[in-house]
Amino acid sequence: MSGRVTGPVLILGAASDMARAVARGFASRGCAIQLAARDPAALEGDRADLETRYGVAVSLHAFDALDVEGHAGFVVGLPELPQVAVSAIGLMGEQSENAADMTRAALVMRSNFEGPATILGALANAMEARGSGTLVGISSVAGERGRASNYVYGSAKAGFTAYLSGLRNRLAGKGVHVVTVLPGFVATKMTEGMDLPARLVAQPEEVAKAIVAAVERGQEVIYVRRIWRLIMAIIRAIPEAIFKKTSI
Domain holding 150: CATH number? 3.40.50.720
Asked if the structure places residue 3 within a domain, the reply is: no
* Weakest-pLDDT range from 40-44, 175-179, 212-216, 242-246: 242-246
pLDDT of residue 128: 98
Cis peptide, bond prior to residue 79, ω within 30 of zero = no
pLDDT at residue 48 above 90? yes
**Where in the sequence is the domain holding 89, given as residue range(s)?**
9-243
pLDDT of residue 222: 96
Residues 214-227 pLDDT 10s = 999 999 999 999 99
Asked if the structure places residue 1 within a domain, the reply is: no
For 29-69, the three-class secondary structure string (H helix, E strand, C coil) is CCCCEEEEECCHHHHHHHHHHHHHHHCCCEEEEECCCCCHH
pLDDT of residue 200: 87
Alpha-carbon distance of 21 to 210, in angstroms, equals 11
pLDDT at residue 1 above 70? no
Residues 3-45 pLDDT 10s = 788 779 999 999 999 999 999 999 999 999 999 999 999 999 9
Asked if the structure places residue 189 within a domain, the reply is: yes
pLDDT of residue 2: 63
Q: Which residues contact 119 (CB under 8 A, 6 or more apart)?
A: 12, 63, 65, 71, 74, 75, 87, 89
Asked if the structure places residue 69 within a domain, the reply is: yes
pLDDT of residue 196: 75
Asked if the structure places residue 170 within a domain, the reply is: yes
Residues with a catalytic annotation lie at 153
pLDDT at residue 168 above 90? yes
Residues 67-117 pLDDT 10s = 999 999 999 999 999 999 999 999 988 888 999 999 999 999 999 999 999
Asked if the structure places residue 248 within a domain, the reply is: no
**What is the count of structural domains for the chain?**
1
Asked if the structure places residue 4 within a domain, the reply is: no
- C-alpha torsion angle, residues 9, 217, 160, 85 (rounded to 10): 10
Asked if the structure places residue 2 within a domain, the reply is: no
Residues 182-238 pLDDT 10s = 998 888 776 666 667 788 888 999 999 999 999 999 999 999 999 999 999 999 999
pTM: 0.93
